[in-house]
Amino acid sequence: MSKSKKQQLKDRSNLFKFESVTIKDEEMDDGWLKPNKVHLVTIISFIIFELMLVLSHFAGTEYTTAQFISLSVVALILARQIALDFAYHILLEIYNIPLIIMSIFIPSLVFDQGTITQSVIAGFGMFGFFLVFTLIASWLKGQLAGIGGGDILFAFAIGGFLQGFLIFISMFLSSMLSLVLTFFYKDKQNVPMGPGLLISFWLCLLYNEQIIDLLNQYLG
């Protein structure tokens, strides 16, 4: 392989092999995070998410062992996705698919919230909304919109896990977080949506009761 061709390849040195084999170079953009910092940001993000999980317990949410372990697994996946999105602007299907499966079964079987059918309907509803929105936005712009396939797949997990009114709260928080991120991002036209989606989803997943109580208090 020539030196020029090697330079065109993305730095995959900090990707796990099972991650690397699932993506092509043309699917990966250059984000602000250097590839050699991916593992560090993953660890830091996971620690922050776990601290938020513990704090939600002190905020009044009681977890069984199964619930705490389930949420910790979700936190680890989200942390890795955040690091990869900041580095390569991509949410990997190899992580989105497990999240989708978890979003179908965990709410009803682990948290006793809703039913599997409700999770599936809500998941497909969010997936369809993101897909249609992307197609319309791309048609109006005359080029592919900034929402990637990974974002659309992850939308299923948002619907499946949150269901109901919290989905809209998550979308609102996601927009606000993405707007804040834009101020700190040099390339204003290439700001990843993933981190905003992931963080807002995690906040709504952990603090759903507190958020609903707060809305009821101020909105009646």
Which tokens hold the place of 219?
């909105």
Q: Is residue 108 part of a domain?
A: yes
Domain hosting 116: range is 24-219
User: What pLDDT is stored for residue 76 in this prediction?
Assistant: 97
Q: Is residue 97 part of a domain?
A: yes
pLDDT exceeds cutoff 50 at 7: no
Better pLDDT: 21 or 68: 68
* Cα–Cα dist 176/95, whole Å: 24
Contact residues for 148 (Cβ-Cβ < 8 A; gap 6+): 89, 90, 91, 193
Q: Is residue 6 part of a domain?
A: no
pLDDT exceeds cutoff 80 at 219: no
Q: Is residue 89 part of a domain?
A: yes
Residue 178 binned pLDDT confidence (cut-offs 50, 70, 90): confident
pLDDT exceeds cutoff 50 at 147: yes
* Cα–Cα dist 19/96, whole Å: 12
For residues 134-150, one letter each, b for 16 or more C-beta atoms within 10 angstroms of the residue's C-beta and e for the rest, the string is beeeeeeeeeeebbbeb
Q: Is residue 15 part of a domain?
A: no
Contact of 38 with 84, CB cutoff 8 Å: yes
User: What pLDDT is stored for residue 59 in this prediction?
Assistant: 81
Q: Is residue 2 part of a domain?
A: no
Overall number of domains in the chain: 1
Handedness of CA 119, 146, 37, 178 (dihedral sign): negative
